[in-house]
């Protein structure tokens, strides 16, 4: 009865106020599903994935995370970039929102990734890759962002911009960096209308990684392409790199009269040595997947619900954590 009372109290709280929800260790099991599994595509072998909901917010006013488009994690901080000009920073350890800071540009910010490179040895945070990823007029460049902390505030500075001129990948294309192998990846759908299945594929295009520290902007074209991989998935939002794998939030692409029906969400793990999808993980949150990040051998995914019609009965933003397959985890 005490547990039932706790559940009812939490549900009542979630449906009656417009605020952040912080999840403590005692109640995290109420928001977790033990049945999630990584599935290895070739062998069919499965590994259980432990899931934890780290942070949620309800619909409300002010700096709402319902505009979240991408997310990346460093140490105990999740940097959540919005469609617009804001970054909301969450303390994962404390499970609370710390800051909302302005960005040097206004765009869709469709993907974000912390790199392993520091602009200055005294910087607390490494550089961030921040994909513009706008819809028409299709601006697909990415920015290299320096993060500086001063007097408890965060400031962002654009170091350089990398542009794409490949027409096929100009439909909301986004970027991932693999510093380990000196590669840069551009990913998108091959057609501008992602709902059309005929001749439409999810593609990943690789380049040699340019110097991200130099101030000169870079423009990439077809002559710079190293490899191109295509998949029968609908690319959804985020991408990142970790330990030999590209991780993407995707949905399978089915079609009725030329229009797609989106299947349950999942994460795919692509081996960078051969471009093969080696493992998949279903995502059971009903909201739209947005950001994806791997830090300290853990996978983080952010979800958002942009419909104000559901307020205040629905959460607007969720940050969840998942365990990786044992073979992908980095050994100390």
- pLDDT tens column, 53-86: 999 988 765 557 888 899 999 999 999 999 888 9
Reply yes or no on whether the pLDDT at 107 is more than 90. no
CATH number of the domain that residue 224 is part of? 2.115.10
Instruction: With respect to residue 114, please indicate whether it lies within any of the assigned structural domains.
Output: yes
Instruction: With respect to residue 276, please indicate whether it lies within any of the assigned structural domains.
Output: yes
Q: What is the model's pTM?
A: 0.86
With a pLDDT cut of 90, the percent of the chain lying above it is 53
Reply yes or no on whether the pLDDT at 322 is more than 60. yes
At residue 28, the pLDDT reads 36
In terms of pLDDT, which residue wins out, 135 or 85? 85
Instruction: With respect to residue 95, please indicate whether it lies within any of the assigned structural domains.
Output: yes
Give the chain's domain count: 1
At residue 190, the pLDDT reads 80
Nearest to 246 by CA among 304, 318, 299, 319: 299
| For range 173-202, the mean pLDDT | 84
Instruction: With respect to residue 9, please indicate whether it lies within any of the assigned structural domains.
Output: no
CB 83 within 8 A of CB 111: no
At residue 139, the pLDDT reads 67
| For range 291-296, the mean pLDDT | 96
Q: Convert the pLDDT of each residue in 136-159 to its tens digit.
A: 556 688 999 999 998 889 999 999
Domain encompassing residue 248:
18-323
The Cα–Cα gap between 62 and 107 comes to: 19
| For range 196-206, the mean pLDDT | 81
Instruction: With respect to residue 231, please indicate whether it lies within any of the assigned structural domains.
Output: yes
Instruction: With respect to residue 76, please indicate whether it lies within any of the assigned structural domains.
Output: yes
Q: Within 10 A of 196 (CB to CB), how many other CB atoms are there?
A: 15
The confidence band for 132, taking pLDDT boundaries of 50, 70 and 90, is confident
Instruction: With respect to residue 11, please indicate whether it lies within any of the assigned structural domains.
Output: no
Reply yes or no on whether the pLDDT at 265 is more than 90. no
Instruction: With respect to residue 1, please indicate whether it lies within any of the assigned structural domains.
Output: no
Answer left, alpha or beta for residue 212, where phi above 0 means left and psi between -120 and 50 means alpha. alpha
Q: What are the structure tokens assigned to 280, written together?
A: 């998949």
At residue 19, the pLDDT reads 46
Least confident of 212-221, 254-263, 315-324: 254-263
> Across all residues in the chain, what is the average pLDDT?
82
């Amino acid at each position: 009865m005490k547990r039932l009372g706790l559940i009812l109290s939490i549900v009542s709280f979630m449906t009656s106020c417009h605020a952040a929800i912080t999840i403590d260790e005692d109640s995290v099991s109420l928001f977790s599903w033990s049945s999630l599994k990584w599935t290895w595509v070739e062998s069919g072998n499965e590994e259980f994935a432990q899931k934890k909901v780290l942070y949620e917010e309800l619909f409300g006013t002010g700096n709402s995370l319902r505009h979240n488009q991408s997310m990346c994690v460093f140490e105990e901080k999740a940097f959540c970039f919005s469609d617009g000009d804001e970054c909301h920073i969450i303390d994962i350890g404390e499970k609370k929102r710390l800051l909302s800071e302005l960005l040097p540009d206004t765009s869709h910010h469709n993907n974000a990734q912390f790199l392993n490179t520091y602009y200055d040895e005294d910087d607390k945070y490494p550089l961030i890759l921040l994909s513009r990823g706008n819809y028409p007029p299709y601006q697909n460049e990415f920015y290299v962002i320096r993060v500086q902390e001063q007097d408890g505030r965060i400031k962002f500075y654009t170091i350089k911009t990398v542009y794409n001129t490949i027409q096929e990948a100009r439909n909301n294309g986004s970027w991932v960096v693999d510093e380990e192998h000196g590669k840069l990846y551009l990913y998108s759908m091959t057609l501008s209308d992602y709902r059309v299945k005929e001749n439409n594929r999810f593609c990943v295009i690789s380049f040699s990684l340019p110097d991200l520290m130099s101030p000169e902007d870079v423009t990439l074209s077809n002559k710079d392409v190293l490899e191109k991989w295509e998949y029968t998935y609908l690319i959804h939002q985020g991408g990142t790199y970790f330990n030999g794998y590209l991780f993407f939030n995707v949905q399978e692409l089915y079609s009725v009269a030329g229009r797609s029906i989106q299947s349950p969400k999942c994460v795919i793990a692509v081996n960078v040595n051969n471009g093969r999808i080696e493992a998949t993980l279903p995502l059971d949150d009903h909201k739209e997947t947005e950001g994806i990040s791997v830090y300290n051998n853990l996978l983080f995914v952010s979800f958002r619900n942009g419909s104000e019609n559901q307020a205040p009965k629905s959460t607007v933003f969720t940050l969840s954590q998942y365990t990786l397959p044992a073979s992908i985890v980095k050994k100390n």
